[in-house]
Structure 1
């Protein structure tokens, strides 16, 4: 694990020890509403049995008041947003996807490790490592967007790869959750191989994120 990953894990765990209560993750961010969908690039985790087993085991022990467990088919790693579907023309989507497919064709599949548990006020995630591989893929996608649009949405900096397994659903005390997480921190991580990245239309539904796949970019190198 790199020093950046270790530092992040340590800092976030230390901060969590001083967190009195959770923050409800499900407030409406600017522009969001129940009937609105958002174009975004995500890594998704279908056909990843090792990860699914790990998450199932962890969630068994995290069925606690205040936590909304993420469905297995809802696991994702947020990469790069584009915009709300009613704001982005279909022609722009087609052009950005074509650029992304061309630029990613020579990239190898991502070999990643997920774990240990990595909590904050709005949820419990799994640390993703190594970061630099995910960061490189995100930079390629941003370059693809920049080939079509003069301004790429969202900051290039401040990106932290993670996969959430439980969202904070109510401002409950963190003490019982901290105690449970302390028992789970030594759980061995799971390895995954990512061979493609989808562009999805994301929505919120019943305190969970759901989506429709719009296009897929293979990592074929």
Structure 2
């Protein structure tokens, strides 16, 4: 495991990012699954569990709030709403542990089940936001982080704690949220800016 909390380029205390998330902290079935995983991990030092209210699947980082105008944000939201009219809600399966050196994460099946929503968001960002981070994104693997690593340590205890895998849960994805996000200590917090309902344009 390696420390997740290094300062990425441009990120600093108090500086906010606009990010499109799938927020799942209010889903009871997700909360129970994450609680089980965090209970398995609580004896392992060097991990910061993600509080339930801040559980999320990062879908697209847009850019820094101080580089994007309010009019661009309004145009982006309208463009996302238009594109999401043709993206139907989908049911995904959450629960398969994935290995990442900086976090304990749960994978989403099918892996491409959320690609249409993300593609629509990226198209909207490209045509409405001049200063964006589209080119900075690695290949996207949808996932839910349940704990972040805060130090360098062997991964074996984490891998063993997550075996056997927890029972997966079905999660219906029917909306996406734009948030203004800030890193505070060892946690990501945000204010919700907009919610877009899939398949409706609302």
Query: TM-score of the superposition, structure 2-length normalised?
Result: 0.91
Structure 1 segments (4+ residues) deviating >6 Å:
none
Match of 2:73 in 1: 93
Confirm or deny that 1:140 pairs with 2:102: no
Aligned to 2:92: 112
Cα offset, 1:149, TM superposition? 4.2
Partner of 1:13: none
Unaligned 5+ segments in structure 1 are 1-21
Check if 1:66 corresponds to 2:46: yes
Provide closer, same or farther for how the CA distance between residues 208 and 158 of structure 1 changes in structure 2, counting only shifts above 3 A.
Answer: same
Please state how far the C-alpha of 1:220 moved relative to its aligned partner: 3.2
Q: Deviations over 1:196-215 (max 9, x none)?
A: 11111111112011111111
State the number of aligned residues.
198
C-alpha distance in 2, partners of 1:151/1:120? 29
Deviation at 1:105, TM superposition (A): 2.2
> Aligned-pair distance for 1:150?
6.4
Question: 1:178 aligns to what?
Answer: 159
- 1:52 is aligned to 31
Determine if contact 1:117/1:127 at 8 Å carries over to the other structure: yes
- Residues 65, 172 of structure 1: 8 Å contact kept: no
Provide the residue aligned with 2:176 in structure 1.
197
TM-score of the pair, normalised by structure 1: 0.84
Q: Output the aligned Cα RMSD.
A: 1.7
After superposition, the Cα gap between the structure-2 partners of 1:179 and 1:149, relative to the gap in structure 1 and judged at 3 Å, is closer
How far 1:157 moved relative to its partner?
6.1
Confirm or deny that 1:160 pairs with 2:160.
no
C-alpha contact 1:115 1:128 (8 A) present in aligned 2: yes
